[in-house]
Amino acid sequence: MRKLVLLLSLLTTAFAQTAPPDPSYPLLDQAYQALRAKDYDQSITQFRKAIALLPDRPSIRKDLAYTFLKVGENEAARDQFAEAMKLDPADVNVALEYGFLCYETRQQVQARRVFDRLRRNNATAAQAFENVDRPLREGIARWQTAVAAEPANFSGHEELAKLADQREDLALAAENYEKAWRLRPARRDLLVGLGRVYKQMERAEDSMAVLLAASRTEEPRVAEQARELLPERYPYVYEFEHALALDDGNLPLRRELAYLLLQINQTAKSEVQFQALIERAPDDMPATAQLGLMKLARGDPEAALPLLNNVLARGDPALVERVRAALHPPEKKTELKAREIAPPGNSFAENKELGLKSLEKGYLKDALKYLTIAHEADPADYEVMLKLGWTNNMLKDDKEAVKWFGQAAASPDPAISAEAEKAYKNLAPTLDRFRTTVWVFPTFSTRWHDLFAYAQTKTELRLPGWFIHPYLSVRFTGDTHGAVTPSVGFAPQYLSENAVTLGLGIATNAWHRASAWFEAGEQMRYRASASDSSRMTPDFRGGVTYTKELGHVMARGSRGLFGETNDDAVYVSRFDKDTLFYTQNRVGYTFRETEGWGGFHPQLYWNGNLTADVKRQYWANTFETGPGLRFRFERMPSLLFSVNAMRGTYVVNEGNPRGANFRDFRVGVWYAFTR
Tell me the C-alpha to C-alpha distance, in Å, between residue 352 and each of 202, 369, 415, 432.
Answer: 36, 10, 19, 31
Does residue 275 fall inside a structural domain?
Answer: no
Do 377 and 495 lie in one domain? The reply is no
Question: Residue 3 above 70 pLDDT?
Answer: no
Split into its structural domains, the chain has a count of: 2
The total of other beta-carbon atoms located within 10 Å of residue 434's CB is 11
Q: In this structure, are 457 and 548 located in the same domain?
A: yes
Query: Do 487 and 611 have their domain in common?
Result: yes
Poorest-pLDDT segment among 46-55, 249-258, 530-539: 530-539
- CA angle 261/259/240 to nearest 5° reads 65
Query: Which is higher by pLDDT, 13 or 111?
Result: 111
467 within some domain? yes
User: Among residues 431, 464, 486, which one ends one of the domains?
Assistant: 431
Residue 134 has pLDDT above 80, yes or no: yes
Claim to verify: residue 476 and residue 394 sit in the same structural domain? no
Within-domain flag for 632: yes
Concatenated DSSP letters of 611-652: EEESS--GGG-EEEEEEEEEEEETTEEEEEEEEEEEEEEES-
Give φ, ψ of 654 to 5 degrees. -70, 120
Q: Are residues 444 and 470 in the same domain?
A: yes
Of 4-18, 192-206, 236-250, the poorest mean pLDDT is in 4-18
Task: Tell me the percentage of the chain whose pLDDT exceeds 70.
Answer: 87
**What pLDDT sits at residue 13?**
42
pLDDT of residue 4: 41
Name the pTM for this structure: 0.45
> What was the pLDDT predicted at 506?
92
Structural domain range at position 378: 348-431
| pLDDT tops 70 at residue 291 | yes
- CATH of residue 600's domain is 2.40.128
Mean pLDDT to the nearest integer, 219-225: 85
Question: Is the per-residue pLDDT at 512 higher than 80?
Answer: no
Lowest-pLDDT choice from 20-29, 353-362, 612-621: 20-29
Instruction: Identify the bridge partners of residue 543 per DSSP, sorted by sequence position.
Output: 517, 570
Inside any domain, residue 216: no
The more confidently predicted of residues 344 and 55 is 55
One domain for residues 404 and 483 = no
How far is residue 606's CA from residue 627's CA, in Å, rounded to a whole number? 4
pLDDT value for 666:
94
* Residues 530 and 394 reside in one and the same domain: no
Mean pLDDT for all residues in the chain: 81
Angle at 361 between CA 359 and CA 363, to 5 degrees: 60
In a shared domain, residues 396 and 531 = no
Same domain? 482 vs 608: yes
CATH number of domain containing 400: 1.25.40.10
Residue 390 lies in a domain: yes
Residues 426 and 451 in one domain: no
Phi, psi torsion values for 555, nearest 5 degrees: -135, 155
Question: Does 623 fall in a domain?
Answer: yes
d(CA 504, CA 459): 10
Question: Does residue 86 carry a pLDDT above 90?
Answer: no
Count other Cβ atoms within 10 Å, centred on residue 420: 25
Confidence (pLDDT) at 565: 92
d(Cα 287, Cα 548) in Å, to the nearest integer? 53
Q: What is the CA radius of gyration of the chain?
A: 36
Q: CB atoms < 10 A from the CB of 247, how many?
A: 21
Residue at a domain's end among 411, 431, 451: 431
Predicted confidence at residue 483, as pLDDT, reads: 58
Beta bridge partners of 667: 444, 643
Assigned domain for 471 exists: yes
Of 254-263, 304-313, 560-569, highest mean pLDDT? 560-569
Residues 6+ apart with CB under 8 A from 205: 242
527 plus 656 within the same structural domain: yes
Distance in angstroms (rounded) separating the CA atoms of residues 339 and 112: 54
Structure confidence by residue, pLDDT tens digits, 151-162? 998 888 998 988
Among 431, 450, 478, the domain boundary falls at 431
Model confidence over 377-400: pLDDT tens digits?
777 788 888 889 888 887 777 778
Q: Specify if 139 maps to a domain.
A: no
Shared domain check, 476 and 407:
no
434-445 and 450-461 strand pairing: antiparallel
- Going by pLDDT thresholds of 50, 70 and 90, the confidence category of residue 529 is low
pLDDT grade for 430, boundaries at 50, 70 and 90: low
Q: What is the pLDDT of residue 429?
A: 66
The helix (run of H) or strand (run of E) holding residue 472 is: strand 468-479
598 pLDDT higher than 70: yes
* Rounded-to-integer distance, Cα 505 and Cα 656, Å: 35
| pLDDT for residue 422 is more than 70 | yes
